Amino acid sequence: MRVWGGLALAVTLDTLVQIIWKSTVRRVPGEVGSIGVFWSLAKQPALYLVIALATGQFINWMLLLSVADVSFALPFTALGYVSVGLFSVVLLGEHVGMGRAAGIALILAGVGFISRTPHSTRPAEAAGARLDCDRAVPAALAEARS
């Protein structure tokens, strides 16, 4: 249940971040790319809500990856594309045409396939495939410098 709850929370937080952020950006006057837009956004209370939700999203993701394979969890979070698509129509008045609807249907099918697989591989199976980031990253950086 911990995995499914974490996945549901990941999709929910992503949806909230995207919809609130889009709603906030719509209210900001100015030309895209101008410094004025940045300062206008900084004055929006919703910006800080988005930052808090994104921080929660990050913490949830760390906890989720402690109990599920990334090859299972990340594709599952694609349901966020589905929920954002639906809520953008309902709350933001956007239009989802046939192409987008077909893409959403493919995402649902893909998540359906992935949800039928184990959320975590057994340690014995994955032991030979583990990446030791404590050694691999410094070694790659040292190689890049030379």
Convert the pLDDT of each residue in 60-108 to its tens digit.
999 999 888 888 888 889 999 999 999 999 999 999 999 999 999 999 9
| Averaged confidence pLDDT in the chain | 84
User: Which tens digit of pLDDT belongs to each residue from 21-30?
Assistant: 999 888 877 6
Nearest to 80 by CA among 68, 88, 90: 88
Query: What pLDDT sits at residue 25?
Result: 86
Query: What pLDDT sits at residue 91?
Result: 95
Nearest to 95 by CA among 85, 106, 105: 85
- Residue 126: partners with Cβ closer than 8 Å, 6 or more residues away: 69
Which of 12-16, 62-66, 103-107, 135-139 has the lowest average pLDDT? 135-139
Residue 39 has pLDDT above 70, yes or no: yes
Q: What percent of the chain has pLDDT over 90?
A: 45
Query: What pLDDT sits at residue 51?
Result: 96
Residue 129 has pLDDT above 60, yes or no: no
Residue 144 has pLDDT above 90, yes or no: no
Query: What pLDDT sits at residue 124?
Result: 44
Query: What pLDDT sits at residue 50?
Result: 95
Where residue 30 falls (left for φ over 0; alpha for ψ -120 to 50; beta otherwise) is left
Residue 7 has pLDDT above 60, yes or no: yes
| DSSP state letter for 29 | -
d(C-alpha 114, C-alpha 73), whole Å: 9
Query: What pLDDT sits at residue 1?
Result: 58
